[in-house]
Structure 1
Amino acid sequence: MGMIVKICGLSTPETLGAALAAGADMVGFVHFPKSPRHVPLAAAAALAGGVAGRARKVLLTVDAGDDLLAAAIAAFEPDILQLHGHEPPARVAALRAKFGRPVMKAIGLASAADVAGIADYEAVADLLLFDALPADVTALPGGNGRAFDWALLRGRRFAKPWLIGGGLTAETVGEAIRATGASGVDVSSGVESARGVKDIGKIASFIAAARAAEKLGSLAESG
């Protein structure tokens, strides 16, 4: 499997189109009213319908109840559910079974103690996403433009595909890939011109930088 590049928090046809044209593997839609990237259900079908099989659609929710998830899944028709809240492993397993969709679990990292709990999620999720823990309890669970210490993941390998996020930009994504050996990268705030406002040029630059780092890594392995 090649490097997975995910552009998250897309909310307009123009920026979605830019992500697809630049070759994103996954495009993420946020259904969480507290987020500046929130996509209401009324707008979901038209926006998500523009993907047309060119990438995997990811629906991000935060500690959502079953009824909300059912409505959001019906509207977005996602390929993957991204759980970005405090969902425990048992909840992840239950939602995966109930809705029959692959699940990506976001795990906030700040210290070695946080790394210790990864195994419990590795057993029940289809993909893992490592992000920075919010600075405080009032912050959004993701999309805050904060990086975590990549050394926490250095030399680690997991049985499931895993992505890193948290403060990545076109300028730092290559270093992040080299430092962690991640199988994918996830960006939201790092391709914005203002909070919640995606920038077409930054999207293209980020994807190009990630692909360049992937190519260098492949050359190094073959050499």
Structure 2
Amino acid sequence: MSGHCHTGVKICGLTEEAGFDACVENGADWIGFVFFERSPRFVTPQHATRLAQRERGQARTVGLFVHPTDEDIARVLEHAPLDVMQIYASDERARQVADAFGLPVWLSFPVAGREDLPQSCSVQRMLIEPIPPKNATRPGGNAQKLDWSMLEGWQPSFPWMLAGGLNVGNVAEAIRRTGVPAVDVSSGVESAPGIKDPALIASFVRNARTAGRA
């Protein structure tokens, strides 16, 4: 499946300047900051702000939260100007957050099989990814790949994004097979946990865009 003239690209888990600058230089659509302390990609709101104050280009900033309280979010927004909030929570909680803060909300939606795919979306976007392994200490960023066959022919009426185990070598195939309008990568463009590789970022964006135009 194909036909998207512009596949959206989100690079998540930025912690350092070289990676951030590579996202901007290569035209990533979204740059993600992880506000979840158990992640190797965790950043403080102040650190995220320092990075975001570099030349931002057209990229929008996305803050990732795991089951946050309103206070958690408010504390981050005090320092970090976010364009989007990506949340691990229930559908109902995601709607509450959108109402409370007036920002677009993406709901992270882990699935195991086609029967788990969401039928509707009450926030701005659904982020489809694999269910984490039983021993995982965090809900995402585990470099697990989703079985893309479950997405073939799935054409939801709402915006969505694919995450989980994507990298330079497989992103084009993922886009061609699923027709996904946007992709999210974190560990797949890293030289070490939390350290992005500028060359991999460049290749990932290029491969995603080329596949989207195919």
TM over 0.5: yes
Displacement of 1:206: 0.5
Q: Which residue of 2 aligns with 1:98?
A: 100
Matching residue within 154, 174, 194 for 1:196: 194
Which letter maps to 1:28? G
Q: Secondary structure at the match of 2:72?
A: helix
Distance in 2 between residues matched to 1:82 and 1:49, nearest whole Å: 20
Residues matched between the structures, number? 210
Distance in 1 between residues matched to 2:174 and 2:100, nearest whole Å: 35
Instruction: List aligned pairs for 1:166-205, cutoff 5 A.
Output: 166-205=164-203
CA contact (8 A) 1:169 1:187 kept: yes
1:165 matched to 2:183? The reply is no
Q: Which residue of 2 aligns with 1:47?
A: 51
Q: Secondary structure at the match of 1:174?
A: helix
Q: Which residue of 1 aligns with 2:90?
A: 88
Distance in 2 between residues matched to 1:27 and 1:82, nearest whole Å: 11
Displacement of 1:145: 0.6
Q: Which residue of 2 aligns with 1:127?
A: 125
CA contact (8 A) 2:136 2:142 kept: no
Matching residue within 105, 110, 113 for 1:111: 113
CA contact (8 A) 2:86 2:105 kept: yes
Displacement of 1:45: 1.7
Matching residue within 23, 28, 39 for 1:24: 28
Unmatched runs of 5 consecutive residues or more in structure 1: 217-223
Q: 1:68 to 1:51 in 2, by over 3 A?
A: farther
CA contact (8 A) 1:51 1:57 kept: no
Displacement of 1:74: 2.3
Which letter maps to 1:19? C
Which letter maps to 1:208? R
Which letter maps to 1:60? L
- Percent identity, please: 38
Which letter maps to 1:140? R
Q: Provide Cα deviations, 1:106-126, integer angstroms capped at 9, x if missing partner.
A: 1111113322xx125x1x110
Matching residue within 184, 198, 206 for 1:208: 206
Distance in 1 between residues matched to 2:194 and 2:145, nearest whole Å: 18
CA contact (8 A) 2:114 2:151 kept: no
Matching residue within 71, 79, 83 for 2:83: 79
Q: Which residue of 2 aligns with 1:136?
A: 134
Q: 1:139 to 1:207 in 2, by over 3 A?
A: same
Distance in 1 between residues matched to 2:55 and 2:208, nearest whole Å: 21
Larger RCO of the pair (alpha carbons < 8 Å, separation 6+): 2
CA contact (8 A) 2:143 2:188 kept: yes
Structure 1 moving runs of 4+ over 3 Å? none
Q: Which residue of 1 aligns with 2:38?
A: 34
1:152 matched to 2:154? The reply is no
Displacement of 1:143: 0.8
Distance in 2 between residues matched to 1:137 and 1:98, nearest whole Å: 33
Unmatched runs of 5 consecutive residues or more in structure 2: none
Displacement of 1:76: 1.6
Distance in 2 between residues matched to 1:53 and 1:159, nearest whole Å: 30
CA contact (8 A) 2:32 2:63 kept: yes
Matching residue within 7, 12, 18 for 1:14: 18
